[in-house]
Amino acid sequence: MTTTRRTLLRATAGLALAAPTIVRAQAGAWPNKPITIVVNFPAGGLTDGIARAFGQHVSQATGQQVIIDNKPGASGNIGAAQVARSPADGYTFLHSVSSTLIQNRVMFKTLGFDPDKDFTIVSGTSSGVLPVVVHKSLPAEVKDIKSFIEYARTNKVNFGSWAVGSSAHIFAQTLNEKYGLTMEVVTYKGEAPMWQDMGAGQLQAAMGSPQAMNALIVKGDVRGIAAPSKVRARALPDVPTSREQGFDDDAFTVSGWLALAAPAATPKEIVKRMSDLWVAAADSEPGKKMMESFALVEKPMPHEEVMIDYERLKKTLIPRIVALGIQPV
């Protein structure tokens, strides 16, 4: 089951965009004016943080201003649609999560863009370990996935997700399907408002980046119950992975990355140059600080590599969502 944040708050309280002409830039002169990176989630989360830090490196390396423009809404579709309709001249990029380009196609009846035809992916940055945490109001006995399932069998649980079809959504819905639970998956426009509601006790569980939830961890408002990944989270080293707990279904091990994408017709030379800049940004001072704050260790994938992984994820994740029976909205 899914609901929106607006629905949850109500309960607890008692693009059309004109398609511009495509203008092809001379790759050799790029960039000769400011570059805009549209982030299709609010400020304060992992997607926004990486865009700002890496964008700072791009600005320093090229001598041109890099503008971060947050356009959240519709699980990332609004910002993505805006970039899809932008000139393919190398001056407008999208920074998103991979679910916008993969899962959303089966989560929404209409997107406002075609992920495969409208975009080329410039680079992909690992989203790292995204722990599953529960609110402090849950009994102390709820300390792992098994005890969380038992709690959810007899108690109302609102499970936070930063987007429809996200890894958090898949994780929660798989628990519902496999174990007969009726958790409500509450969808937000990004991590920041989700963790705000978690701190207020309006969510009983959620999943996301350690840096974005760090204030809640420090205050003791949340505690980790699982790392849905191949390795444990640096921020929560005592929290076992899902597989360590015996939950081997692939839905409990997150796959995905942050996607820097450009309109599909963007000149290949510009795509290659921006890809090189984005990969190098991870080793810049602002990039290293941001990577460390989010406990990210894997370097970004360049254009050719991320396009190959894009095809792999489509073959893996789309059938998984279809099998779960999550209905498009």
The residue assigned the tokens 């499970």 is: 159
Here the tokens at position 260 are 């820097």
Query: Is the pLDDT reported for residue 26 higher than 60?
Result: no
Residue 191: pLDDT band with limits 50, 70, 90: confident
Contacts with 60 (C-beta within 8 Å, 6 or more apart), sequence order: 284
- Give me the pLDDT at residue 162, please: 86
Over residues 124-134, mean pLDDT: 92
% of the chain at pLDDT higher than 70: 91
Neighbours of 68 (CB within 10 A): 15
Instruction: Give how far Cα 116 sits from Cα of 68, 120, 283, Å.
Output: 24, 8, 30
Q: Are 97 and 127 in contact (CB under 8 A)?
A: yes
- The pLDDT value recorded for residue 307 is 97
Q: Give the pLDDT confidence score for residue 102 in this predicted structure.
A: 92
Share of the chain above pLDDT 90, in %: 66
For the domain spanning 129-252, the CATH number is 3.40.190.10
What pLDDT sits at residue 4? 54
Q: Over the stretch 204-213, which tens digit does the pLDDT of each residue have?
A: 999 998 888 9
Angle between helices 285-293 and 46-62 (to 10 degrees): 170
Least confident among 8-12, 52-56, 227-231, 238-242:
8-12
Q: Per residue, what are the HEC states of the chain?
A: CEEEHHHHHHHHCCCCCCCCCCCCCCHHHCCCCCEEEEECCCCCCHHHHHHHHHHHHHHHHHCCCEEEEECCCHHHHHHHHHHHCCCCCCCEEEEEEHHHHCCHHHHCCCCCCCHHHHEEEEEEEECCCCCEEEECCCCCCCCCHHHHHHHHHHCCCEEEECCCCCHHHHHHHHHHHHHCCCCEEEECCCHHHHHHHHHCCCCCEEECCCCCCHHHHHHCCEEEEEECCCCCCCCCCCCCECHHHCCCCHHHCCCCEEEEEEECCCCHHHHHHHHHHHHHHCCCHHHHHHHHHCCCCCCCECHHHHHHHHHHHHHHHHHHHHHHCCCCC
Q: How confident is the model at residue 15, as a pLDDT?
A: 38
For residue 327, is pLDDT > 60?
yes
* Mean pLDDT confidence for 216-237: 92
Which tens digits make up the pLDDT trace of 260-316? 999 999 999 999 999 999 999 999 999 999 988 887 878 999 999 999 999 999 988
Contact 68, 51 (CB under 8 A): yes
Is-contact 135 221, C-beta < 8 A? yes
- What ranges do the domains of the chain cover? 15-127+256-324, 129-252
- Return the pLDDT at 103: 87
For residue 182, how many other CB atoms are within 10 A of its CB?
Answer: 10
- Cβ pair 247, 229 in contact under 8 A: no
- Tens digits of per-residue pLDDT, 213-223? 999 999 999 99
Q: Can 15-127+256-324 and 129-252 be said to share one CATH topology? A: yes
Cβ pair 127, 99 in contact under 8 A: no
pLDDT band at 28 (very low <50, low <70, confident <90, very high): low
> Quick one: CATH architecture of 15-127+256-324?
3-Layer(aba) Sandwich (3.40)
